[in-house]
Amino acid sequence: MEAANMAYNLDITPNYSYIFEFENEFIHQNYRKWMTENWTVAFYYVGVYMAFIFGGQHYMQNRPRFELRRTLIVWNCMLAAFSIMGACRTLPEFIHVLRNHGIYHSICVPSFIEQDKVSGFWTCMFVLSKLPELGDTVFIVLRKKPLIFLHWYHHITVLLYTWYSFTEYTSSARWFVVMNYCVHSVMYSYFALISMGKRPPRFLAMTITVLQLTQMIVGCAINIWAHNYMATAPPHSCHISNINIKLSMTMYFSYFVLFAQFFYKSYLAPKGKKVKEDPMPEIPRPKKVDSLNGFPRQRNGVVAAH
């Protein structure tokens, strides 16, 4: 109960204009205890997820695809709204720490969870959101769209890594959470427009992929920075484990390679060789359907980055 009544350290936390009751009631120790005791459950979710992918694709192989237009619009709008809210609530703490305490604090001190209930709550929601975000793949399978390796590999590894990292209060996660919320705000807003039958300019899809690539580059840089701090700072002063740095570095670097390949195939490859794969493809404008098994052409290549 002492943590629940802990006063804000205004030197560490920004001066929020308004704090919601559910944010103020956030007790990080309770969530950490639950995730520490249950983080291996994430592997069961991954097992069900993989079974659905291969079983669902087999089931849908000789069946007409589902349209799911209205459901997809609601889904993308909900995820866009959630991401925008998460970005708005975590970005102030991130900027405040960088301005007043510098890079070292932003990478090595988990005050965004331990001393800031607003940022802590939305960091927790960020981790938990990786489970329902697996629903992106459900739409791909049921609508019989191309499902590339990058999509499901990304979903699985992010779910496992974020859940594990929260149990350690990995301090460098401050960067990862804010970047991801910001990129998802743009990406899911784009998906929402596409779902409504809108036609955003092609450069917007390319811009989103560039943002995703940038996110991976920054993620690798933060891990290198964290490794250097771990080597030079006093023992236990930087709140990151060596295994976490290795896992995160491997994950971000593999993402960068896969996203770079996707970017080249989608936007730079010679005509006739471009692979326009889209895990959340556009829904065409309403028109007469000649066949129940017809597939609309896909135009924009954007991969959900989590």
The answer to whether the CB of 106 falls within 8 A of the CB of 98 is yes
**Tokens 């743009």 identify what position?**
186
- Interior angle at CA 306, CA 264 and CA 241, nearest 5: 110
91 or 3, higher pLDDT: 91
At 278, which helix (H) or strand (E)? none
Task: Note the pTM of the prediction, 2 decimals.
Answer: 0.85
pLDDT in tens, 119-135: 999 999 999 999 999 99
- Residue 146: band (very low, low, confident or very high) from pLDDT cuts 50, 70, 90: very high
196 or 299, higher pLDDT: 196
The answer to whether the CB of 129 falls within 8 A of the CB of 75 is no
Residues forming the active site: 154
303 or 213, higher pLDDT: 213
In this model, does residue 11 exceed pLDDT 50?
Answer: yes
Dist. CA 218–CA 215, nearest whole Å: 5
Range with the lowest mean pLDDT among 14-18, 42-46, 200-204, 267-271?
267-271
- Residue 277: band (very low, low, confident or very high) from pLDDT cuts 50, 70, 90: very low
Residue extents of the structural domains in the chain: 27-268
Q: Which residues of 58-80 are buried (b: 16+ CB within 10 A; e: fewer)?
A: eeeeeeebeebeeebbebbbebb
246 or 200, higher pLDDT: 246
Q: What is the pLDDT of residue 128?
A: 95
Tell me the Cα Rg of the chain.
20
Q: What is the mean pLDDT of the chain?
A: 87
Q: What is the pLDDT of residue 164?
A: 94
In this model, does residue 56 exceed pLDDT 60?
Answer: yes
Cβ neighbors of 226 (< 8 A, separation 6 or more) are 107, 108, 172, 238, 240, 245
Q: What is the pLDDT of residue 250?
A: 97
Q: What is the pLDDT of residue 236?
A: 82
10 or 157, higher pLDDT: 157
In this model, does residue 3 exceed pLDDT 50?
Answer: no
- Residue 39: band (very low, low, confident or very high) from pLDDT cuts 50, 70, 90: confident
pLDDT in tens, 204-251: 999 999 999 999 999 999 999 999 999 988 888 899 999 999 999 999
Give mean pLDDT, residues 241-262.
Answer: 96
- Residue 300: band (very low, low, confident or very high) from pLDDT cuts 50, 70, 90: very low
Q: What is the pLDDT of residue 295?
A: 35
The answer to whether the CB of 116 falls within 8 A of the CB of 24 is no
Q: What is the pLDDT of residue 48?
A: 97
- Interior angle at CA 219, CA 299 and CA 77, nearest 5: 45
Percent pLDDT > 90 in the chain is 77
279 or 249, higher pLDDT: 249
From first CA to last CA, the distance across the chain in angstroms is 34
Please name the amino acid found at residue 188: Y
In this model, does residue 273 exceed pLDDT 80?
Answer: no
